[in-house]
Amino acid sequence: MKRVILFKNGTEVNGKVVLVTHSLEELLTSAGAKFSVVAKRLFTKQGGEIDDLKLIRMFAEGENGFIMTPSNVDKNGAYLIDRSPTYFEPVLNYLRNGQLIFDSNVNPEGVLEEARFFGIESLVPQLETLIQSNQRPCDNVPLTRRDVVKALILTPYTAELRFQGVNLAGSDLSRLDLRYINFKFACLHGCRMVGTNLSWCSLERADLSHAQLEGAQLLGVKMLCANAEGANLRGCNFEDPAGSRANMEGVNLKGADLEGSNMAGVNLRVATLKNANLQNCDLRAAVLAGSDLENCDLSGSDLHEANLRGANLKDAAFELMLTPLHMSQTIR
């Protein structure tokens, strides 16, 4: 049912909200009761007399009675629903033959509010269906770089920032300082983190498959059972001068590219490195016990004091090794 605002005798104050009922006579009776007068006629703001309820949108001002402003119409006779252009972002909406027509920039939720306000109930189901079809499940939408930067700015440096289980797939987080953040179980599939500082982060069981981590800082990182299959880790630094060692036990680095990375002392126990590129890596004192290095290229790498006990070295390449290896109990 429509609601209109009445103003008495040309004033712009003390307006009264009145329901538009079935006839103009009933509306005049209600208006008179609101203002304790006998209401005889209704006028537009420009002085035109209103003689049909279909033209009424809201009461404005007038003389010798009450006036109402009818809904504006375009050259085709379509009614404009434009109560708040800002609310509609700021496109006017048209009602033609019971069908709502608007362009892609219109906010359908705002139109729904207008339809309910003006009593156009026939459009409500159509608009509700449109709104539901436009909505995406928020839980599945990956966070963007802007979302991450905003979280970094709003979080005090003394507080722990947690992205556990968060979806960041495909986001560009290059060259950001993300130290000490909890990314446990997070989805970082295809994420671009070139030159990003991920030192002392928890990436346990995170999905880093096909992520771009070239030149990233990974000092003291925890990547237990993480999936980094096909990831680009060229030139990464895992060695902490203070002695904190990266723990990558059980990590999946199948087909990953780690060429030229500094991985001294890193724990890669029972890790999967099948078909990985480990050329020219610093693996001094690294723990590779029980790891799968089948068809892995370790040419030019430094494996001084590395623990290879029980590792699978089938078809692995060891050309140009810097130091002699002790590979007893390995699978060759």
Res 251 pLDDT > 60: yes
- The range of the structural domain enclosing residue 101 comes to 79-134
* CATH code of the domain in which 320 resides: 2.160.20.80
* Domain co-membership, 111 together with 163: no
Rounded Cα gap, residues 310 and 111, in angstroms: 68
* Domain co-membership, 147 together with 115: no
* Domain co-membership, 110 together with 63: no
* Domain co-membership, 206 together with 256: yes
Q: What is the pTM of this model?
A: 0.58
Highest mean pLDDT among 100-114, 117-131, 217-231: 217-231
Q: What is the mean pLDDT of residues 61-83?
A: 46
Choose the weakest-confidence range: 63-67, 152-156, 173-177, 230-234: 63-67
Res 193 pLDDT > 70: yes
Average pLDDT, the chain: 79
Rounded Cα gap, residues 319 and 307, in angstroms: 19
Q: Which band of pLDDT confidence, cut at 50, 70 and 90, is reported for residue 35?
A: confident
* CATH code of the domain in which 127 resides: 3.30.710.10
Residue 223 sits at φ, ψ, to 5 deg, of: -125, 40
Residue 7 sits at φ, ψ, to 5 deg, of: -130, 140
* Domain co-membership, 114 together with 194: no
* Domain co-membership, 16 together with 102: no
Burial (CB < 10 A; 0-12, 13-18, 19+), residue 285, is: middle
pLDDT tens for residues 142-175? 899 999 999 999 988 788 899 999 999 999 999 9
